[in-house]
Amino acid sequence: MPYLCADPPLTVRDLSGFGARLGGGGVGHQIPGRTVFFNSGRAALWGALRALGVGRGDRVLLPAYLCQSVVSPVLTLGAAADFYPIDRNLGPDLTALEASVGPATRAIVLIHYFGFAGPVRALQRLCERRNVALIEDCAHALFSRHGERLLGSFGAAAIFSPWKSLPLPDGGILAINRPDLEMPELGAAAPWTTTLARLAYRALGTVEMAAGWSPRLALLQRPGLRHDLHDRTSRAAVRVQRGSSVAWRLLGLAQPEGVVARRREHWSRLLEASSNLSWGRPLFGRLPEGVCPLGFPLVVEERDRWRDRLLSIGVNVRTYWEHLPSIVATDRFPDAAWLRDRILVLPVHQGLRSSQVAWLAETLPTLSRRKGHAALAHR
Ligand SMILES: Cc1ncc(COP(=O)(O)O)c(C=O)c1O
């Protein structure tokens, strides 16, 4: 039985040519605007808000379906977070969103979930009309396009979290599109020991895939442990640091076209396999041109049971998000809670071989036969 890790693992091939090229070069034309390289996406979001002059007394509008790392930068700067509804297909409710824009609203954050473009042109127009800055959250959308244009090129600023899509030890990119905005200051990089530990962690995935087993599979099935991890990350303050030079160099060695093609191929294979699943359905029915998918989201009733089921057969699936930030009033945003309880994301990253994805595709329909059966998620 294979082990399929959740993120692309660091391989010897990724490291080959490490000293040969300057960092960032290979992906330069795939990231819009003037860029600043932070250690994480949340630090980059802090940078975007800072560049816009957001601070105490200001308000920022965020989608109700999100994780704590999107909220923390707003609160760290002393601003207040407001929320707008996201429907069960991940679409923002634009009428409610516009109604929530108040005199103190300085920015609206649009998340391009799982690499799929949100309604970015409509948001652009809304932001112009209301004189508010648009920040595109492309943490899931590195290398994704909307039509001919890169995601991240529409807003006043955009942020990326490239370590989610590439085998980097850290990394967060702030892309500034509005010429009048100043680049924010950067802190020092993390100590090299931290970078080394993170590199080792990324490389562990390669060993685990070769071994066909990972201790994570058992650990992730322990809810207490998952809660502890979540509590620790959600309570942590945003650490604003420069990204490591190792991450910058590895970013420069990435092959965007190959990454996009591979992810799209894996995604399409999983769509074929899951169109008639008895225990879940694909969240997106098609893969629009230009999308570089972060993963393959399924809508599943009894999500936690199926997560454990997939972990038990060696598939490191992700839940998005197991918890919403406590500041989101879920009684006001029932669809965000609905998504929180149902989304399961299968890996489609470039580190997976076609044979591994073929195995997953063949296995998915057989899962309900092997153990129990949960009803298909009807809307
Ligand atoms: C939508 C979204 N935005 C921003 C972030 C923050 O990125 P990072 O984890 O690199 O700080 C995340 C992280 O999970 C995310 O999912």
Residues 141-181: tens digit of each pLDDT: 999 999 999 999 999 999 999 999 999 999 999 999 999 99
Give the separation between CA 6 and CA 347, rounded to whole angstroms.
5
Position in ligand 1 atom list of the atom nearest CA 172: 10
Compute, in angstroms, the gap from residue 233 CA to the centroid of ligand 1: 12
pLDDT(197) > 60: yes
Cα 246 to averaged position of ligand 1 atoms, centre (Å): 20
CA dist 305 and 116 (Å) reads 27
Residue 185: predicted pLDDT: 84
Task: State the closest ligand 1 atom to the C-alpha of 163, by its place in the atom list counted from 1.
Answer: 10
- Please give the structure tokens belonging to residue 273: 């396999």
| Distance from residue 110's CA to the centre of ligand 1 (Å) | 13
* Domain residue ranges in the chain: 12-176, 214-236+255-368
Distance from the Cα of residue 238 to its chain's centroid: 17
Mean predicted confidence (pLDDT) in 119-142? 98
To the question of pTM greater than 0.85 for the whole model, the response is yes
Alpha carbon distance 198, 214 (integer Å): 17
| Strand ranges across the sheet with 295-299 | 281-282, 295-299, 343-347, 318-319
Q: Is the CB of 172 under 6 A from ligand 1?
A: yes
For residue 257, the CA-to-ligand 1 centroid distance in Å is: 23
Is the Cβ atom of 298 under 6 angstroms away from ligand 1?
A: no
Q: Which of 69, 72, 138, 321 to mutate to test the pocket of ligand 1 (most atoms within 8 A of CB)?
A: 69
Instruction: Assign 328 to helix, strand or coil.
Output: coil
Is residue 40 within 6 Å of ligand 1 at its C-beta?
yes
> Could you tell me the distance, in angstroms and rounded to a whole number, from the CA of residue 27 to the centre of ligand 1?
20
Query: Does residue 64 have a pLDDT over 90?
Result: yes
- Ligand 1: centre distance to CA 366 (Å): 33
Buried b (16+ CB within 10 A) or exposed e, 142-180: bbbbbeeebbbbbbbbbbbbbbbbbbbbbbbbbbbbeee
The secondary structure element, H or E, covering residue 145 is strand 145-146
Residue 144 has which token pair? Answer: 């994704």
Answer whether residue 374 shows pLDDT above 60.
no
Whether domain 12-176 has CATH 2.60.120.1310: no
12-176 and 214-236+255-368: identical CATH topology: no
CB of 62 sitting under 6 A from ligand 1: no
Residue nearest to atom 1 of ligand 1 (CA): 139
pLDDT at 324: 95
Alpha-carbon distance 258 to 359, whole Å? 22
11 with 351: CB under 8 angstroms? yes
C-alpha span between 63 and 59 (Å, rounded) = 13
Mean pLDDT across 79-88: 98
Query: Please, what sign has the CA dihedral across residues 316, 164, 352, 354?
Result: positive
323-367 pLDDT tens trace: 999 999 999 999 999 999 999 999 999 999 999 999 999 999 999
- For CA atoms 205, 211, 213, 214, the dihedral sign is negative
What is the atom index within ligand 1 of the atom nearest the CA of 321?
Answer: 16
Residue nearest to atom 13 of ligand 1 (CA): 69
298 within 8 A of 282, measured Cβ to Cβ: yes
Going by alpha carbons, the residue nearest to atom 3 of ligand 1 is: 139
Q: 137 in ligand 1 pocket by Cβ < 6 Å?
A: yes
Residues 124, 128, 130, 131, Cα dihedral to 10°: 120
The residue behind tokens 């010429």 is 179
- Which of 37, 39, 42, 198 best tests ligand 1's pocket when mutated (most atoms within 8 Å of CB)? 42
Buried b (16+ CB within 10 A) or exposed e, 325-334: beebeeeebe
Q: Choose the residue to mutate in 37, 65, 67, 111 for probing ligand 1, maximizing ligand atoms within 8 Å of C-beta.
A: 67
- Which ligand 1 atom sits closest to the C-alpha of 113? 1
Spacing, Cα 2 to ligand 1 middle (Å) = 28
Q: Mean pLDDT over all residues of the chain?
A: 92
Find all residues with CB under 8 Å of 124, minimum gap 6, and list them.
134, 154, 155
User: What is the CA angle 141-143-149, rounded to 5?
Assistant: 95
CA distance 39 to 42: 9
**Ligand 1 atom closest to Cα of residue 69:** 6
Q: What is the pLDDT of residue 302?
A: 94
Among 3.40.120.10, 3.90.1150.10, 2.40.50.100, 3.40.50.11540, what is the CATH number of 214-236+255-368?
A: 3.90.1150.10
41 ligand 1 Cβ < 6 A: yes
Q: Which residues pair with 138 in a beta bridge?
A: 160
For residue 107, which phi and psi values (nearest 5 degrees)? -150, 150
Which residue is associated with the tokens 């060993």? 207
Q: Tokens representing 314?
A: 């060696």
Ligand 1 close to Cβ of residue 141 (< 6 A): no
Query: How far is the CA of 136 from the CAs of 122, 272, 296, in angstroms?
Result: 13, 30, 21
Tokens of 136: 């595109």
Residue 82 has pLDDT above 90, yes or no: yes
Q: What is the pLDDT of residue 219?
A: 85
